[in-house]
Amino acid sequence: MWKQTSFVLGLTASVLAKYDSYILAPSSRTLHPVSTFGTINGTVSNADSLASSSPGSATFTDTSSVTYDFGKDIAGLVTLDIGETSADQFIGFTFSESSLWISSEGSDATQDAGIDEIIGFFPTGPGTYTSLEQSAQISSGLRSRWTPYGAPAPEASTAISPYIGGYEIQTHTLAGNVSASLDLIRLQWGFMLDDPRMTNSTFIEGYRNDGELKYAPYSNDPRISHSHGWATGPTSYLTFYVAGLQVVTAAGQTWRVAPQLGDLQRVDAGYQTPLGSFAAQTNATGDGGLSTDFSTPDGTAGSVAIPYPSCDGLLTLTRQGEQEACVTVEVKGQSQAKGNLEVAGIDGGSYRMVFECQS
């Protein structure tokens, strides 16, 4: 254990997971713990409040830890919302398979004690923190493999698969590297559009990493399909990640607006679900600010987020037709900003979100 504050998280079901407990088509890609498990070590107040889909707040004092049960076999990106922190604090996470869990001391029953590598956070102030360090290494490693024709598939290095490439562009952004995502779209899908063999489309099944229209995974030399919908990853990526117009629960009953423009100056996206229309238009300003006009159906609710800024500034949210902001957040910039600044509990409707740097 560290001298600083730390968490220990575990998956704590007592038997092997049943088939339907795996996350194949969850109602939401955002998962919260469902309960605390075992004994709390140290001093943790209100620990149970974090085991809920509703916002909670727990305070960890000195060297303290708690184990949480997510109720599912999970994998993904750890996100931590910090409301307040004292100086020089450290927050650590580790995970264990539910069927092998022993205690927070030994983690699990595998031969090597099963202690996964620790995910560490060093919060410098309020905000949303994401496990970016390891993700950033993965992003950098993937980018180093690119050829002039795109990103080779990790499981078939001589092949470029637009299907796998669609997941890679999401991966770079989840690692906080939006510029790499946009660069890969320009590189790989730009090649598909510009090359005269591609029929002016980006629907090719795959091709070789040297640009030859041969799909390396096949042992023979078949014709390559030019009508594969699996090559359309940038369409959803630009909508959900760059425009940031995200459906969180079924049909958008809960939503999230979180634009990440990278080097783009303007993005405009929209779609409809059975609940109604969702739309967002974001414009970047030269001083590091942005302005987003968005609309979501009445009767829904969600959150808004922006990448945590490096400058001090003011975030405001104003309902369309009103003069005064319904949300105002004074932001203290961070020189090495990571994660997102997020505001939850927003009712459906039409709004303008503005962030302006003030220093």
Query: pLDDT by residue (tens digit) across 280-313?
Result: 999 998 788 999 999 999 999 999 999 888 888 9
| Bridge-based pairing state of the strands 156-160 and 207-208 | antiparallel
Q: What's the whole-model pTM score?
A: 0.69
Determine the pLDDT at residue 4.
36
Q: What is the reported pLDDT for 49?
A: 82
Return the pLDDT at 9.
32
State the total domains in the chain.
Answer: 3
Residue 7 lies in a domain: no
- When pLDDT is cut at 50, 70 and 90, the band that residue 86 belongs to is confident
Rounded (10°) angle between helices 132-143 and 162-174: 140
CA gap 242, 267 in Å, rounded? 7
Residue ending a domain, among 189, 213, 234, is 234
Residue at 1 is within a domain:
no
Pair 123, 142 in one domain: no
Residue 14 falls inside a structural domain: no
Q: Of 76, 96, 129, which residue constitutes the final position of a domain?
A: 129
Compare 11 and 130 and report the one with higher pLDDT.
130
Average pLDDT over residues 45-56: 78
Same domain, 92 and 149: no
User: In this predicted structure, what is the pLDDT of residue 70?
Assistant: 76
User: Which residue range forms the structural domain that includes residue 47?
Assistant: 19-129
**d(C-alpha 321, C-alpha 130), whole Å:** 35
Which pLDDT belongs to residue 265? 96
Boundary of a domain, candidates 78, 100, 129: 129
The pair phi, psi for residue 336, each rounded to 5°, is -120, 65
Please give the Cα distance from 48 to 238 (Å, whole number).
Answer: 37
Rounded mean pLDDT, 275-282: 98
Tokens, residue 293: 């006009």
The answer to whether residue 5 is domain-embedded is no
Which residue did the predictor score with more confidence, 47 or 203? 203
Q: Tabulate helix, strand, coil % of the chain (nearest 5).
A: 20, 30, 50
Q: Are residues 140 and 123 in the same domain?
A: no
Q: Are both 87 and 45 inside the same structural domain?
A: yes
Quick one: 168 and 139 in the same domain?
yes
Q: Could you tell me if 262 and 330 lie in one domain?
A: yes
In a domain, 6, yes or no: no
> What separation in angstroms does the CA of 6 have from each of 44, 75, 132?
11, 20, 18
Residue 250 has pLDDT above 80, yes or no: yes
Q: Across all residues in the chain, what is the average pLDDT?
A: 80
pLDDT of res. 190: 96
Measured between alpha carbons, how far is 28 from 252 in angstroms, rounded to an integer?
10
pLDDT in tens, 3-34: 333 333 322 333 334 444 444 455 566 777 88
181-194 mean pLDDT: 97
Measured distance CA(171)–CA(105) in Å, rounded: 33
| Mean of pLDDT values over 230-251 | 95
Same structural domain, 77 and 102: yes
Which one is predicted more confidently, 247 or 52? 247
Percent of the chain predicted with pLDDT > 70: 76
> Is the pLDDT higher at 303 or at 83?
303
Query: In this predicted model, which residue has the larger pLDDT, 150 or 91?
Result: 150
CATH of the domain at 324: 2.60.420.10
Q: Is residue 287 a part of any domain in this protein?
A: yes
Q: Are residues 114 and 148 in the same domain?
A: no
- Identify the pLDDT of residue 207: 93
The reply to whether 84 and 119 lie within a common domain is: yes
pLDDT tens digits, residue range 331-340? Answer: 887 766 567 8
In a domain, 167, yes or no: yes
- Return the percentage of the chain with pLDDT > 90, whole number: 44
Task: Tell whether 179 and 251 lie within a shared domain.
Answer: no
Interval 318-328 mean pLDDT: 93
Question: Which pLDDT score, from 0 to 100, does residue 22 have?
Answer: 46
Q: Kindly state whether residue 8 falls inside one of the protein's structural domains.
A: no
Say yes or no: 226 and 286 in one domain.
Answer: no
Mean pLDDT of the 205-210 span: 92
Distance CA 232, CA 195 (A): 17
Which span out of 4-8, 129-133, 172-176, 279-283 was modeled with the highest average pLDDT? 279-283
Least reliable range by pLDDT among 66-75, 187-196, 233-242: 66-75
